[in-house]
Amino acid sequence: MTDLIHTEKELVQSLRDYIQEEETKLAAVKSWANKLDALSKASTSDPEGYLAHPLVFVCISWPMFSFSDVLFGLLESGKQISGESKASETVHVASSQRDGCEALEEDEQQLQWFISNMTVHRQLFPDAEDETGAAKALMRLQDTYQLDSEAFSRGKLPGMHADALLTVDDCVYMGRTGYNDADYYHAVLWMQQALKQLDGGEEAVASKADILDYLSYSVYQMGDLPRAIELTRRLLIESVFLFAAATLGTCVLPKGTRQQYITQTPGHQRAGANLRYFERILWKQLKEQDQDQPPASEEPILLGTYQRPKDHLPEREVYEALCRGEGLQMVREYSSRHTSPERGDDARRSRLFCRLHDGRRNPRLLLQPVKEEDEWDSPHIVRYLESLFLHRQALAEQLKEAEDPALVLHLTSVLLFQASTNCMLHAPGRCVPQIIGTLTGRISTEQQQLLSAYQSLVVKQLVSQNQSRKQQQQQEGGEEDEKAEEQEEEARDVRTQLAALTPQVKDLMRKASVAED
C-alpha cells in the first residue's frame, strides 16, 4: 500500500508537470495570436497605406513564419498525445466511462479536422525562402535610396506614414542574412543597429554576445582592425559576464541557453583566438608603416562609415541614381561634357531608335518579338512596350484551357489584379488569398463574393483530397473508416458546386476585359 501511495503521488506530480507544459504551449500560441491580431487590425484600418510600406511584408511574413513553426510543432505533439490516449482508452476505460470516451473522440475529430485544414493552408504561409528574400529586398531598397539602418528599422521612410518597426531580432536576422552571403557591409550596418536597440533596453531573444560576435568579425572583413579589436574585447567581457550569470543564476537568460553558457569556458574561445589574430595583423601593419597603434574610433557606425563594395553589375549605381531622382542632373552633366552648345541634344536623339527585339534569336521571341524603344543612350535606358498586354493575353489563353479549380482561381485572381491595377504580377498559388484581399474595392461586390465562395470551395476540395489520401493509406494498412462514405459524399458535393461555378469565375475575366476596353 505504501508503494501505491508513492506511485499515486508521482502520477499526480507528472500530471501537474504535463498541465504546466501544455499551458506554456497554449500561452505561446495565444501570444502569437495576439501579435497576428494586432497586425490584422493595423492592416484593415488602412489597407492601401499599410501595404504600401516596404517593411509591411517583413512585419507580416516573419511572424507568420515563426507562428507556423510553433503551431505545427504543437499540432504534431497533440496528434501524438491523442494517439497515445486513444490506445490507453482501448485498454483501461470501463463501460461506465463511455460518455467521457465519446467526448474525447469528438475532441479528437475536431483536432484532426483542424490539423487537416491547417496543413492545406500551410502552403500559403511564408517559408524560409520568403524570409531571406524579404531581407535581401530590404537591403536593395536601403542601398537604392541610401537609407540609414536606424531610420529604416523605425519605419521613418520618405513618403511613408504607416507604423512598421523592426525589432532587435529582426535586425539580427537582416545582419545574419548579409553575413551568410559574405555581404559584410550590410551585416555591419544591421548588427550595429541591433546592438544599439539592445543597449537601449529593448528585449530580444538574441544575446549581446551573439551580436558582438557577428559584428566584430564583419568589421574586420571591412578592414577596420582597431574597431574589430575593441568589439572583440567587448565580446570577451560580455562572455565572461554571461558565464558568471549562468553559473550563479544572477540574471535572466534567454530560454534554453542557461546550460549552454554554463558549459562554455569563460572568455569565449573563438573570440580569444580572433583577438590574438587581429592584434597580430595590426602589429605587422603598423611595423611595416612605422606607426603607432591608432585608437579605435568611438563614433557609431553609420551609413557612410564604410564604403559599399563595388558591384559586379556596372549599371547598378546608375539605376540607383535614377530611382533617387538624380537622372536629370546626370543627363545635364553628360550633355555638358559630350555635346556642344551649338548641336544641343539633337545629335543624341538621332541615335535613339525603336526596334523589335528577339533576344538574340531567343526561341520564345522569334515568332513574337517584344517592342523596344530607346529612352537614352548613355546609360542605355530602354522602354518595353505592350509587355503587360502580352503577358495577360498568354494567361487568358491558359485560363480558357484550365480545368483544375485551383488553377482557375489562381489565374483569374492574377488577371483581375493586372486588369484593375495595370501592374505586372508573378505570384505563386499560395499568394492567392492575399491577391483576392487586394481586389477589395477594385472589383464589384458580386464579383468579390463569387471569388471568395469559389476560393472556399477550392480549399474544401484540397482538404477532402488530403483526407482521402490518409484514408487510402489506412485501408492499405488494414484499417477501416466508418465515415469514408460520408466524406466521399461531401467531396462529390464540393466537386458539383465547383463545376457549376467554374464557368462563372472564368467569365469574371471576360467581363473585366470588356469593362476595361
pLDDT tens digits for the chain (517 residues)? 677 777 888 888 888 888 888 888 788 778 777 776 776 676 666 665 555 555 655 555 555 555 555 555 555 555 554 554 444 444 444 444 455 556 556 666 676 776 676 666 666 666 778 788 888 888 888 888 888 888 888 877 666 655 667 889 889 999 999 999 999 999 999 999 999 999 888 888 888 888 999 999 999 999 888 899 898 888 888 777 666 655 655 554 554 454 444 344 444 677 788 888 888 888 888 878 777 766 666 677 877 788 888 876 777 887 787 777 675 444 444 445 444 444 556 676 777 888 888 888 888 788 888 888 887 777 788 888 877 777 788 888 889 988 899 999 999 999 998 888 878 788 888 888 888 888 888 888 888 899 999 999 998 888 888 877 777 777 765 555 566 777 788 888 988 999 999 999 998 877 554 344 4
- Rounded to whole angstroms, the Cα distance separating 45 from 76 reads 35
C-alpha cell of 19? 498541465
End-to-end alpha carbon distance in the chain: 88
Q: What length is written for the chain?
A: 517
Q: Which CATH class is domain 166-289?
A: mainly alpha
- Rounded to whole angstroms, the Cα distance separating 217 from 450 reads 56
**pLDDT at 389 (0 to 100):** 78
**pLDDT at 215 (0 to 100):** 93
- Rounded to whole angstroms, the Cα distance separating 209 from 235 reads 6
- Rounded to whole angstroms, the Cα distance separating 283 from 293 reads 8
**pLDDT at 184 (0 to 100):** 93
Q: What strands lie across the sheet with 354-357, from one edge to the other?
A: 354-357, 370-376, 381-385
256 close to 288: Cβ distance less than 8 angstroms: no
- Supply the DSSP symbol for 367: S
295: preceding bond cis by omega (within 30 degrees):
no
**pLDDT at 165 (0 to 100):** 77
Burial of residue 145 (CB within 10 Å: 0-12, 13-18, 19+) is: middle
- For the chain, residues classed under CATH 1.25.40.10 are 166-289
> CB neighbours of 332 closer than 8 A, spacing ≥ 6?
none
> CB neighbours of 490 closer than 8 A, spacing ≥ 6?
464
446 close to 390: Cβ distance less than 8 angstroms: no
- Rounded to whole angstroms, the Cα distance separating 241 from 246 reads 9
**pLDDT at 164 (0 to 100):** 66
284 close to 291: Cβ distance less than 8 angstroms: no
Radius of gyration from C-alpha coordinates of the chain: 31
C-alpha cell of 142? 536601403
